[in-house]
Structure 1
Amino acid sequence: MAPLTLAVDTTTKTASGGKMHIAQLETRSKPFASLSTRGEEEKPFDFLRTVFEGVIAGGTAGVVVETALYPIDTIKTRLQAARGGGQIAWKGLYSGLAGNIAGVLPASALFVGVYEPAKQKLLKVFPENLSAFAHLTAGAIGGLAASFVRVPTEVVKTRMQTGQFSSAPNAVRLIVSKEGFKGLYAGYGSFLLRDLPFDAIQFCIYEQLRIGYKVAARRDLNDAENAVIGAFAGNF
């Protein structure tokens, strides 16, 4: 069907008897709007705002999750340490939480603060049908940036959970004095081999599920739906 056109030509006479054109309105029918935003006018990318929002969101989420799951992580660590037949201590399941949060907060903030702007930039580089690669790459970049804080935090946390140290500052001081600064990065290579693929795959699944759900629902997701999708993606 040809586009519909409505033209309204309103004129009025001037004092000299001439005519002055006032308005001409034209409306055309448009096809159904695409769910893709590539064809729409894009908002300018605000790098600092994206980083700031990512840092706040990541830091907050990291603290909440770590506080809620820390006892479970402590039990897991002690079970692994007691495989040789040792006894498992059930007291002090929150031992070392404060020191661990001191590392988790900046690590989580750094991850999301790097991931979000990297994702936005990469989505403009990759074709729309390859957005998954942008999410994979951004997840790996965010994980790599956060690893410089994550690994020392993990080293200190593990040793405190197994009762080797009484406080995080004491643990850092003794590890550095006995093993050098590299002692805080013990197992760094293994950490990268495990966590970088996990971060990349988890956030890729999360983003792709969000996109698919949004397309199917034809609306933005609410917080509860985002949380459920995040929990589902974290199980992979």
Structure 2
Amino acid sequence: MTNSLCHTLRLLLFTLALSFFGLDMDRSIVSSSGDRSQTTFPDALALKDINHPIKKPIIGCGTICVKQDDPCDFLRVLYESLIAGGIAGLVVEAALYPIDTIKTRVQVARDGGKIIWKGLYSGLGGNLAGVLPASALFFGVYEPTKQKLLEVLPEKFSAVAHLAAGALGGAVSSIVRVPTEVVKQRMQTGQFASAPDAVRLIIAKEGFGGMYAGFGSFLLRDLPFDALQFCVYEQLRIGYKLAARRDLNDPENAMLGAFAGAVTGVLTTPLDVIKTRLMVQGAGNQYKGVSDCIKTILREEGSSALWKGMGPRVLWIGIGGSIFFGVLEKAKQVLSERSQRVHKA
């Protein structure tokens, strides 16, 4: 067990080195049989020289292939991304919701304020109802966008493709994610007893715009978060495959997901605090916007308040990243294999 862990850590270090120094990768996708008329599933590596001592073992790892000129390819990728993303989002939210509740309550509490430990599952049902379409929408945009950008951009700019696809997916899915987050966090802080009551009373008191309270701060947090998390994860997967000379297994996908989530969670904690404060303030409008929120927090609570909830947030996103990406890759693999069997039949 110890030797296996040490080997995994060595591979991760080598992966970071590969990601840092860059690796020349071809945009043309090669199938497991070496037929360049076919393309692998979106995550597959695009490699120029299949006889390279490191690259060759990666080809033939059982990746799933579809015809590049198939007009239904985009719809297949879209469908599989919607299903896999929705499943992964549901699993993470259901498993780790109490940690998210604690994080929210810590961020909202003022100095000396007590953290309520009861009702840690408050708002879970309504949140799951919003997470499923939001996650599906994110990946329905992310995967096809990533695929197209990897085809048109020079191979050395693969990180740009992942950054751009993550940001675009986050922007589009925010249409669903923001009202879901508003209702969830207000229930987590004890303002409402049920999701239907929350929606009804928010609209009655604040208008329909109340459902999008903190929309700007949400984008300020989530666009860099989504872009960085998925870029770090995708780049680590590419480097890890080359370092390991094989495809990744489920625990390795989970490990890279945890690492990407934890790092990104730390970097975006101040943005998350601002977003939370703006979303839960309600009709009182204690803060007039992002800049006023920052100034008020710094003036009344000090700079340390911007890092409130970092512990549970990093724990939540780190564990969540391991579960999310592990489930995501497994779901994509199962769906892709099923698609291949149907295509052959």
TM-score with structure 1 setting the length = 0.81
One of 28, 47, 62 as aligned partner of 1:38: 28
8 Å Cα contact 1:35/1:215 also seen in 2? no
In the other structure, the counterpart of 1:56 is 83
With a CA cutoff of 8 Å and minimum separation of 6, indicate the structure with the bigger relative contact order: 2
Distance 1:136 1:81 in 2: 30
Q: CA deviation at 1:214?
A: 1.0
In the other structure, the counterpart of 1:175 is 202
In the other structure, the counterpart of 2:96 is 69
Distance 2:116 2:257 in 1: 32
Rg larger in structure? 1
One of 220, 226, 241 as aligned partner of 1:193: 220
Where 1:74 maps in the other structure, the secondary structure is helix
8 Å Cα contact 2:104/2:185 also seen in 1? yes
Structure 1 position 88 matched with structure 2 position 115:
yes
- Go from structure 1 to structure 2 and tell me whether the alpha carbon gap of 1:224 and 1:36 turns closer, same or farther (over 3 Å shift): farther
8 Å Cα contact 2:78/2:143 also seen in 1? yes
Structure 1 position 133 matched with structure 2 position 160:
yes
Residue-by-residue CA offset, 1:59-94 (whole Å, 9 max, x unaligned): 111111111221111112222333253433211110
Letter in 2 for 1:114: V
Letter in 1 for 2:96: L
Q: CA deviation at 1:39?
A: 6.7
Distance 1:81 1:193 in 2: 18
CA RMSD, aligned part only? 1.7
One of 157, 173, 185 as aligned partner of 1:146: 173
Q: CA deviation at 1:36?
A: 4.8
Distance 1:90 1:177 in 2: 29
8 Å Cα contact 2:127/2:180 also seen in 1? yes
One of 142, 147, 153 as aligned partner of 1:120: 147
Residue-by-residue CA offset, 1:144-198 (whole Å, 9 max, x unaligned): 1111111101110111011110100110111111111111111111111111011
Q: Which residues of structure 2 form unaligned runs of 5+?
A: 1-23, 31-35, 40-67, 264-345
Q: Which residues of structure 1 form unaligned runs of 5+?
A: 1-33
Give aligned pairs, total.
203
Letter in 2 for 1:53: E
Distance 1:120 1:217 in 2: 24
Where 2:156 maps in the other structure, the secondary structure is helix
